[in-house]
Amino acid sequence: MNYLLGRLLFLPGILLGISVHEFSHGYAAVKLGDNTPLLQGRITLNPLSHLDPLGFLCLLLFGFGWAKPVMVNNRNFKNPRRDDAIVSLAGPAANFLVAALFTFFMKLAYTFLPYTLSNQIIFEVLRGTVYINLVLMVFNLIPIPPLDGHHILGSIGGAKVWNFYYKYYDHLRFLLILLIVFRGVGTIIGPPINILYRFLMSTIFY
């Protein structure tokens, strides 16, 4: 029962984090000259437009997951290598901004709301939103397909890196699923998430 309640308290943060993340990818792409996300209806904060069933289930069960990727046509960019990296970074950057904003909301709630059970639930939803957005940020920076990190690394490394990803794409995706199922991802991203979480808490609360 406590586990189920904890998942439910994280749900608003998951839906917001996914929506902001994918919206930011699409918005950045459109601003850089590619209208593909706009034509596909991805310039929206409606989570139903962005949810990937398996990725959403993994988020609920394991705490790590992904959304439906925003499709981008690099040929529409003026500088494809640079602009692809910017689009890929836009999602994780937006998640960090949401985490910082909701840390501030936590401070307001802690300062002005009296201690009641209902207000404690509000506080936990805010805290969950901070944490899950940090999870989405750090997790998506892992350089394994289909996560944003592999686009960023490919844009930096050029053709040799992209050829490697093309050759081993399916193998790497399977590796990612294994890491999620067997909790290996937590070992990788847990430390940076905790550092960022403590940084935000110390910035706002002290």
Q: Which residues are catalytic, by number?
A: 22
Long-range contacts of 39-43 (CB under 8 A, 24+ apart): 40/70, 40/71, 42/70, 42/71
CA–CA separation, 157 and 139 (whole Å) = 20
Tokens coding 182:
């067997």
Q: Is 1 exposed, middle or buried (0-12, 13-18, 19+ CB in 10 A)?
A: exposed
**Residue 186 in 3-state DSSP?**
helix
End-to-end CA distance of the chain: 34
